[in-house]
Amino acid sequence: MGFAESRTEDAQDVTEEFVDVEARIRNNKKLEERIITMLEERTGKLSDVLEIERELSRVREEIERMEGRLRVLSDRSALATITIQCREEKEYVPPAAPTFSSRIQKSWSQSINAMKQTGENIVIAAIAILPWFLVIGVLLLVSVALGRRLLRKRSK
């Protein structure tokens, strides 16, 4: 059985903010009703009517913003996350010493792998040197041909 390595708790009480936002929404809705009443009764200048409508728009925007905040607070209170991390505590058991036969088998495998690696390296080296042998071979053939030609000219 394991044990808890650490424990962390984090909580935020949103009750006060929730109540405050609800109260502000109620107050702004009352203000909205009064502004609508003023707008219906208003028979003055167009600039006064436009000013009242701007204020009504601002109040409605504020109500929508606060209702959104209220939904966020409500959703936040409905969520909870719990994270648990467990680790099993095991007793250390040292590995068993290799047997004689397993040591022989390991040595044989390492030897075969070394031979295989050496063979591969020889093939790769031969392929890498092959273009140089071709160039040197062509140069030697040209040199021998020129040398024979010079010897024939001297012999004559």
* Helix axis angle, 46-78 to 15-41, nearest 10°: 160
Contact 90, 4 (CB under 8 A): no
Report domain extents, the chain.
15-78, 119-156
DSSP-based three-state secondary structure for 24: helix
Q: What is the pLDDT of residues 133-147, one digit of tens each?
A: 999 999 999 999 999
Q: Which of 6-15, 57-66, 108-117, 124-133 has the lowest mean pLDDT?
A: 6-15
Does 108 or 156 have the greater pLDDT score?
108
The model's pTM: 0.41
Q: CB under 8 Å, gap of 24 or more: what pairs does 8-12 form?
A: 12/76
**Token pair of 39, please?**
């707008």
H or E stretch covering 140:
helix 100-155
Gyration radius (Cα) of the chain, Å: 47
What average pLDDT score do residues 100-125 get? Answer: 96
pLDDT for 4 equals: 60
Tally Cβ neighbours within 10 Å of residue 67: 14
